[in-house]
Homo-oligomer: A and B are copies of this chain.
Amino acid sequence: MIVVLAGGVGAARFLQGLVQIVPQNEITVIGNTGDDREFYGLHVSPDLDIVTYTLAGVVDETHGWGIRNDTYNTMGQLTQYGNDDWFMLGDRDLATHIHRTNLLRQGKTLSEVTDDLRKQFSLGIRLLPMTDQPVATHIVTPAGQLHFQEYMVKRRCVDVVQDVLFVGVQEAQPAPGVLDALKEADAILLAPSNPIVSIGTILAVPGIHDALHETSSMIVAVSPIIGGTPIKGPADKLMSGLGMEVSAVGVARCYRDFLDVMIIDKQDAHLVSEIEDLGIPTIATNTIMRDEESKAALARKTLEAAGLSF
Chain A interface (Cβ < 8 Å from any Cβ of B): 40-42, 67, 70-71, 73-78, 80-83, 90-92, 94-96, 98-99, 101-102, 105-106, 116-117, 120
Residue among B73, B74, B105 making CB contact with A41, cutoff 8 Å:
B105
A102 surroundings in chain B (CB, below 8 A): 40-42
With both chains docked as a complex, state the minimum distance between the C-beta of A191 and any C-beta of chain B, in angstroms: 27
9 smallest CB-CB distances across A and B, nearest first, come from A77-B95, A41-B102, A73-B91, A77-B92, A78-B95, A74-B91, A81-B99, A74-B95, A91-B91
- Kindly state the separation between the CA atoms of A101 and B105 in the bound complex, as whole angstroms: 12
Q: A73-B70, A105-B41 are in contact. Are A78 and B91 (CB under 8 A)?
A: no
**A80 near B120 (CB under 8 angstroms)?**
yes
Contact of A92 among B76, B82, B92 (CB under 8 A): B76
Given contacts A40-B98, A91-B91, could you give 14 more A-B pairs where the C-beta distance is less than 8 Å? A40-B102, A41-B102, A41-B105, A73-B90, A74-B74, A74-B91, A74-B92, A74-B94, A77-B95, A78-B99, A81-B95, A81-B96, A82-B120, A94-B98
- Distance in angstroms from A228 CB to nearest chain B CB is 40
Q: Could you list some 13 contacts between A and B, CB below 8 A?
A: A40-B99, A41-B106, A42-B102, A71-B91, A73-B90, A73-B95, A76-B95, A77-B91, A80-B95, A81-B99, A81-B116, A82-B120, A91-B91
How far is it, in angstroms, between the C-alpha of A96 and the C-alpha of B79 when the chains are bound?
11
A134 to B: closest C-beta gap in Å = 15
Distance, CA A73 to CA B74, complexed state (A)? 9
In the complex formed, the residue of B with least CB distance to A101 is B41
In the assembled complex, how far is the CB of residue A106 from the closest CB belonging to chain B, in whole angstroms? 8
Give the docked Cα–Cα distance between A45 and B226 (Å).
Answer: 53
Question: A80 to chain B: which residues have CB within 8 Å?
Answer: 95, 120
CB distance from A66 to the nearest CB of B (A): 12
Q: Which residue of B lies closest to A103 (CB)?
A: B41
A106 partner residues in chain B, CB cutoff 8 A: 41
Q: How far is the CA of A94 from the CA of B89 in the complex (A)?
A: 13
In chain B, what residue has the closest Cβ to A67? B77
Q: How far is the CA of A41 from the CA of B106 in the complex (A)?
A: 9
Q: How far is the CA of A56 from the CA of B71 in the complex (A)?
A: 24
Name the CB-closest residue of B to A70: B73
Cα distance A40–B101 in the bound complex, in angstroms: 9
Interface centre among A41, A116, A120 (most CB of B within 10 A): A41
Partner of A99, one of B71, B83, B117: B83
